[in-house]
Amino acid sequence: MLVRIASHAADSSTEIVLANAIALGLDARALSDGHGGVTVAIDGDMHDGALDIAGVVSIQRKHKPYMLATRENRSTSTVVMVGDVPIGTGEPVVMAGPCVIENERDTVEIARMVKDAGATILRGGAFKPRSSPYSFQGLGEEGLQHLARARDLTGLPVVSEVMEPDQVGLVAHYSDMLQVGARNMHNTPLLKAVGRSGKPVLLKRGFSATVEEWLMSAEYILASGNPDVVLCERGIRSFDTATRFTLDLNAVPLAKELTHLPVIVDPSHGTGKRSLVERMSLAGLAAGADGLIIEVHPNPDSAACDASQTITPDTLARIIRKGRALTELLAEDFDPIALTVLSAD
């Protein structure tokens, strides 16, 4: 059940709803809507009498299984703050940087270059989920230290991947946002751990995951007490091997219809091919994405990881310039975060 509590209600309204549900042996979680109101998601049924509480404005019994992530019965979209950068305001945010952090000097240089190009968040992997055990696995904590140094020198907040629950404290210590990679989207202990971390989470879609599975993974994070989740479409596996993955841009406006969470696009992994990144970045923004995450290196061919999909800072600057013009054009008669009222089915 979804129980909505008004923004003007006393805090005790939420506490009473939760207590009544828990007294009936039901799992119940509360999530702020970011505008003073609260949604209480209750796994099970309660009769109206138990919910006749001041401040309760609506009760919905039929809804999506991702009770906290759903946009149903909610009039606002979530804005996630990464450091001082808001994601989900209608103005796209670009995260850029190398696939893997290689050393401090290059990391600082790349941070300055992506900042000059217009990016506002620095990306870089320190723990890498490589396909081969013989490939460079990342610098670990040392890589996170280089990333943090680049943040200190440029002011850009940083996002980095975490692969295991035991690493969450370490990565959260150095990063402003935790990335859960495509290969770990189904890792429920990790989802719960990042849900308790107090840091915003970038949740990549698994390359064989349905949209519903992706949103259920977001639900794990929300249900663990973390409201700050950004979804990332990064390409799925299809029958066609002409590109590394197939960027599923249907999923972008669909996820925005189904949830209140911001959605960004990763055209680097989604294509695997440098020459396609600019077009697919713009296509992602045209599809309504709240931002992009792009792999950038001053000498892409020499990047230690994912060189073939890595672009130069100049190309990034062009993408951001064109992206701004495109967003302005689309905003003229189309609100990308316009609400779609969904009926539960």
Q: Which residues in this chain contact ligand PEP in the complex, by CB under 6 A?
A: 99, 125, 129, 181-183, 204, 234, 266, 269
- Measured from the CB atom, the residue of 270 and 288 that comes closer to Mn ion is 270
Residue 164, phi then psi, degrees to nearest 5: -135, 150
* Residue with tokens 């209480």, as numbered in its chain: 40
Q: Are the beta carbons of 38 and 30 closer than 8 angstroms? A: yes
Binding partner of residue 181 among ligand PEP, Mn ion, none, CB cut-off 5 to 8 Å per kind: ligand PEP
DSSP assignment letter at 244:
S
110 binds, among Mn ion, ligand PEP, none (CB under 5 to 8 A by kind): none
User: Binding to Mn ion by residue 306, rule CB under 5 A?
Assistant: yes
Write the interaction track for Mn ion spanning residues 167-206; mark x where CB under 5 A is met and - where it is not.
----------------------------------------
Q: How far is CA 234 from the centre of its chain?
A: 11
Binds 322: which of Mn ion, ligand PEP, none (CB < 5-8 Å by kind) = none
Buried b (16+ CB within 10 A) or exposed e, 50-85: ebebebbeebeeebbebbbbbbbbbeebbbbebbeb
Q: In the complex, what is the shortest distance from the CB of residue 44 to Mn ion, in angstroms, rounded to a whole number? A: 42
* Core vs surface per residue 196-213: b (16+ CB within 10 A) or e: ebebbbbbbbbbebebee
CB 263 within 8 A of CB 252: yes
Instruction: Kindly write down the DSSP assignment for every residue of 294-325, as one continuous string.
Output: EEB-SSGGG-SS-GGG-B-HHHHHHHHHHHHH
- The least distance separating ligand PEP from the CB of residue 62, rounded to whole angstroms, comes to 34
Stretch that binds Mn ion, among 31-39, 159-167, 209-217, 301-309 (CB under 5 A): 301-309
Alpha-carbon span 342 to 259, nearest angstrom? 10
3-state secondary structure of 276: helix
Residue pair 143/100 in contact by the 8 Å Cβ criterion: yes
Which CB, 99 or 101, lies closer to Mn ion?
99
The stretch near Mn ion (CB under 5 A) out of 113-121, 143-151, 193-201, 305-313 is: 305-313
Please report how close the Cβ of residue 160 comes to ligand PEP at its closest, in angstroms: 9
- Which of ligand PEP, Mn ion, none does 234 bind, CB closer than 5 to 8 A by kind? ligand PEP
Between residue 85 and residue 114, which ones bind Mn ion under the rule CB under 5 A?
Answer: 99
Q: How far is the CB of 118 from ligand PEP (least distance, A)?
A: 20
In whole angstroms, how close is the CB of 306 to Mn ion at the nearest point? 4
Give the whole-angstrom CA distance, residue 70 versus residue 257: 9
Instruction: Please report how close the Cβ of residue 287 comes to Mn ion at its closest, in angstroms.
Output: 21
Residue pair 117/92 in contact by the 8 Å Cβ criterion: no
Question: Measured from the CB atom, is 2 or 182 closer to ligand PEP?
Answer: 182
Return the number of the residue (199 or 234) whose C-beta is nearest Mn ion. Answer: 234
Q: Give residue for tokens 């970038």.
A: 202
Nearer to Mn ion, 208 or 340 (CB): 208
Binding site for Mn ion (CB under 5 A): 99, 306
